[in-house]
Structure 1
Amino acid sequence: MNDNIFHLTLAIPTYNSEKRLPTLLEKLKNQTFEENINWEIVIIDNNSKDRTALVIENYQKTWDSKIPLRYFLEKQQGAAFARLRAVKQARGEIIAFLDDDNLPASDWVAQAYAFGQKHPQAGAWSGQIHGDFEIEPPENFERIQAFIAIREHGEKEYLFDPYNLRLPTGAAFVVRKQAWCNSVNHVLVFKGRLGKSMVGGEDLEPLLYIHKAGWQIWYNPAMHTYHQIPHWRLEKDYLISLARGCGLCHCQLRFINAKTWQKPIVFARTFLANLRRVIRHLVKYRGQLKYDIIARFEIEFYLSSMISPFYSLKCYFDNKFGNNKVVKT
């Protein structure tokens, strides 16, 4: 086998993960395969302030040389920058992304690679993501669990629905490098959640470009990952901020698959559809929003989605007149 040819790159964008990374790296040490796969691990340190770099340096000293463990520092803050750097550095034809709080099953890498071989038209794919909760989640949490990257969609393969923004989460997903490099050659609007801003969209935007270029996006139930959810991600303030951030990017994401003449229609439909959702939700849960965190999350998401057309206008003018840094591939 040619050592310069890698079938797969396992990419880990990370930030302040000195305590999380060792658990993930131990999981990767124990991956099992039915066929010989030449793969590597690439860690993108997104400007960490803790001892993440030292942790990786110590691991590299004792790492199995058959699986290269490579480290890169990306100083531009944001998940979008980290992923772009991962794609640039990846030597594999397939790039499998794991967040630093994802714990893959022992055959996750093998299943990710096998699916790509089985579906050559797949530009991206993702599997089942289960919750590993530090504390018990609130009642009816399953209604909003997808917003915290928990996806359990059954045991059958299927194509995602990009036109309705039904797509994989940014955690534990896989892309074909050719699909990314040939498709995601745009200015990226969404950079990731930075500081107090919880505006999302950085997960879905590249996938929408990949789909727009003609690639398929699949759900592969054979890939299992466990997402560690600390207690603070179930607290009211965090959940409300998350709901608002997920809603604000809604219209701008829909614009990606729209022709120029369709964008005013998308603008109006997004506003009106979510206005209806807000009204229906208020009628159904009136008197409960103060106490029911799940219902409160949902209406915050609908409200933010309703105003997302106006947020998209703000993004447009900020980018046009240089008031907002953008991400370029």
Structure 2
Amino acid sequence: MTELTSENLDISVAIPTYNGATRLPKILNKLLSQTGVEQLSWEIIIVDNNSYDNTSEIIHNYQNISEENYNLRYFLETEQGAAFARLRAVREARGQLIAFLDDDNLPAPDWLSEAYKFALEHPQAGAWSGQIHGDFEINPPENFERIQAFLAIREHGSNPHLFDADNLRLPPGAALVVRKKAWNESVPKVLIFKGRVGKSMIGGEDLEPLLYLRKAGWQIWYNPTMHTYHQIPSWRLEKDYLINLARGCGLSIYELRIINTKNWQKPIVFVKTILGNLRRAFQHLIKYRGQLNTNLIALFEMEFYLASMMSPFYYLKFNFGKVLKNKLTL
């Protein structure tokens, strides 16, 4: 395989983690058994986002006892949130490509080689992602496939294609590969969405960087030859978690839509977001009337439509609060 021209490494695998001591050995072992990477220069970066378990000890043990020919580097990022961890990974990465994996993602043996091959074949691709399969601790509820994308499970068939950024149909931040050049040229140093921190489930941190890449003219691709497996524990299928997830994702919709919107178009998007989701919620209510208390998937969808409808008002409230806070501190 022909190497990419770079004075640095070919690929940096970046793993943000929070209390991942029990999960990290699995993913590290998968990475250390990758095939087709003999001619690649690559590294693994662990970004510890304020873990209070023995994550650092696990990583230091791997660094000390492994006889493998690989670079494993550890960084502590004290700003809480997935967005801060990913920004730190980009700053520290020495590879021309940055392959993000969450600590609960298990890559297939050829994941890295397929990611690199795609970079060679698609020079205009700023980011690309593959198939993400669910590895469930318990069986998901009936019709779960309707909402599986919200849990970063993506199975879009065997043909590569461009993602539809205009309609926010984009891959998750996990199992995503980006060109460092594209990120540095396109993505701001400070992001709007910080990630789900504490009790807040507000989403948006996965899609925001991709919208900036798209705005700058980079392509975002689906590459079906890259496979990862997302470990889904039982608590992520519980009603309370799923409803909070639906609301958090919905409340981010309006602000995501206006990232690449001209100022004169924002009032139009404001109204369309409210009316469009009001229509969806009304149609959904008619279709599943009397079932929302017993049909978890239908309830999830309803909560997402309602939160999306409210997202313009959430945006106004949040930004008014920031302006008021700034004035009070002057």
TM-score range, shorter chain: over 0.9
Q: Which residue in the other structure is 1:47 paired with?
A: 50
Q: How much identity, in percent, do the aligned residues show? A: 67
Q: Which residue in the other structure is 1:277 paired with?
A: 280
> Which of 296, 305, 315 is matched with 1:302 structurally?
305
Counterpart code for 1:251 = Y
CA-CA distance at 1:240 after TM superposition? 0.3
Contact 2:37 2:112 in 1 (8 A): no
Deviates more, 1:184-193 or 1:25-34: 184-193
Q: Counterparts of 1:321 and 1:30 in 2: how far apart (Å)?
A: 53
Matched residue of 1:13: which SS? Answer: strand
Q: Counterparts of 2:24 and 2:223 in 1: how far apart (Å)?
A: 25
Aligned length: 323
Q: Which residue in the other structure is 2:140 paired with?
A: 137
Structure 2 gap ranges (5+):
none
Counterpart code for 1:316 = N
Q: Which residue in the other structure is 2:228 paired with?
A: 225
> Which of 5, 11, 24 is matched with 2:8 structurally?
5
CA-CA distance at 1:66 after TM superposition? 2.7
Q: Counterparts of 1:38 and 1:192 in 2: how far apart (Å)?
A: 31
Q: Which stretches of structure 1, 4 residues or longer, exceed 6 Å deviation after superposition?
A: 1-4
Q: Which residue in the other structure is 1:84 paired with?
A: 87
Cα 1:3–1:276, aligned 2, differ >3 Å: closer, same or farther? closer
Deviates more, 1:48-57 or 1:1-10: 1-10
CA-CA distance at 1:10 after TM superposition? 0.2
CA-CA distance at 1:321 after TM superposition? 4.2
Q: Which residue in the other structure is 2:64 paired with?
A: 61
Q: Counterparts of 2:191 and 2:318 in 1: how far apart (Å)?
A: 11
> Which of 87, 94, 99 is matched with 2:97 structurally?
94
Contact 1:63 1:69 in 2 (8 A): no
Counterpart code for 1:191 = K
Under a length normalisation based on structure 2, what TM-score does the superposition of the two structures give? Answer: 0.95
1:182-221 equivalences in 2 (<5 Å): 182-185=185-188, 187-221=190-224
Counterpart code for 1:44 = V
Q: Counterparts of 1:118 and 1:6 in 2: how far apart (Å)?
A: 19
Cα 1:257–1:64, aligned 2, differ >3 Å: closer, same or farther? farther
Under a length normalisation based on structure 1, what TM-score does the superposition of the two structures give? Answer: 0.95
Matched residue of 1:69: which SS? Answer: strand
Q: Over residues 46-82 of structure 1, what are the superposed CA-to-partner deviations in whole Å (9 max), with x where a residue is unaligned?
A: 0101000000000001234531000000000000000
Q: Counterparts of 1:124 and 1:131 in 2: how far apart (Å)?
A: 22
1:234 equivalent to 2:237? Answer: yes
Matched residue of 2:98: which SS? Answer: strand
Structure 1 gap ranges (5+):
324-329
> Which of 286, 291, 296 is matched with 1:293 structurally?
296
> Which of 149, 165, 178 is matched with 1:175 structurally?
178
Matched residue of 2:231: which SS? Answer: strand
Cα 1:3–1:177, aligned 2, differ >3 Å: closer, same or farther? closer
